[in-house]
Amino acid sequence: MKTSHQPTTLVLFFALLSLLATTTVAAMTLPEKLAPVPVYSGAKIVQVMEMGTSAMAMLEAKTTPQALLEFYKKEMEGKGWKTAFQAQQEDSAVIHFTKGKDAVQITAGNGDEGMTSYQMVFVAQ
């Protein structure tokens, strides 16, 4: 007996499409929860999303992941955030900050044509 999962697949597809449509509308401004996090000079906001006490933004900038990591380390520590974790590889970087019960993580990787794609995630606990 052959079973079909087509209805489930369609429901998931339309749920995802709805979510993407919602986040696209707000794609040009950062969520208020990410206000304490600076934006790298010249970066373009690609997508944003808020969910409960969390917020996420995807951006692109003409730089390297390593330069981005250095920028955020300097800027965030200057605003009182503590570096909890950081790691770098040739084509990617991640840094995690905490301040009180809040956390911010920046994850960056090489994009196309000299661009770096990166994600900023804020979580309030």
Q: So what's the pLDDT on residue 42?
A: 92
- What is the topology classification, in CATH, of domain 27-124? TATA-Binding Protein (3.30.310)
Give phi and psi for 29, each to the nearest 5: -130, 150
Quick: pLDDT tens for 38-83.
999 999 999 999 999 999 999 999 999 989 999 999 999 999 999 9
Q: What is the domain partition of the chain in residue ranges? A: 27-124
Quick: pLDDT tens for 72-118.
999 999 999 999 999 988 888 999 999 999 999 999 999 888 899 99
Confidence band (pLDDT; 50, 70, 90) for 121? Answer: very high
Please enumerate in sequence order all residues whose Cβ is within 8 A of that of 107, keeping only pairs 6 or more positions apart, or say none: 92, 93, 94, 118, 119, 121
Q: So what's the pLDDT on residue 19?
A: 54
Q: Which residues of 90-113 are buried (b: 16+ CB within 10 A; e: fewer)?
A: eebbbbbbbeeeebbbbbbeeeee
